[in-house]
Amino acid sequence: MYDKIRFLIQKITRGLSYAGMVLLIPMMLLTSADVVTSAFWQAPIPGSMELASFMLAVFVLLGVAYTHQVRGHVRATMLTDRMPEKWAEALNIVTTLLTLFIVIIVLWQGWVVAFDAGAFSDQLRIPQLPFRLLVSVAALFLSLELIFDLVESTRALTK
């Protein structure tokens, strides 16, 4: 049962990451068009910075859990490589628990801030609610990935 749930969550995490990746090309094209119109005709595209910022936020937030899933983040293992295996696993459990604690706070506060009284972007008046909710979605999937890591580290420690 655990393996089926983990497989499903990891599949959703990959899908979210791919959805975020789709926004890279429009963001690149929009930014390039803004630079060209600014340079040649002194007429930047109105709201292009806002749109690019929103697209970048979506890309980053939807890719956080996937980056953790594939171990694409930076890890400093200089200390743990020299420790006995059981100590390294115990330290891994402690750091995963601390990280999980912080991510759960981000999830909770992301949810609270998302429903701030009707926030809109400055220039284009785009509602910020969906983008703010992405903070909670990203934190939720990252916390699930951390829980999977915690289970694996606990299994490795008890062997």
Angle of the 24-41 helix axis to the 48-69 helix axis, nearest 10:
150
The C-alpha angle 122, 123, 129, rounded to 5 degrees, equals 50
For residue range 33-82, what is the model confidence (pLDDT) as tens digits? 999 999 999 999 999 999 999 999 999 999 999 999 999 988 888 888 89
- Return the residue matching tokens 């220039």: 123
What global pTM score does this model have? Answer: 0.88
C-alpha distances (whole Å) from 88 to each of 50, 77, 112 are 44, 10, 36
Q: Is 45 helix (H, G, I), strand (E, B) or coil?
A: coil
For residue range 68-111, what is the model confidence (pLDDT) as tens digits? 999 998 888 888 889 999 999 999 999 999 999 999 999 999 99
CB-CB neighbours of 22 under 10 Å:
13
CA-wise closest residue to 129 among 139, 119, 121: 119
Report residue 118's pLDDT band, with 50, 70 and 90 as the boundaries.
confident
Task: Over range 13-37, report the average pLDDT.
Answer: 94
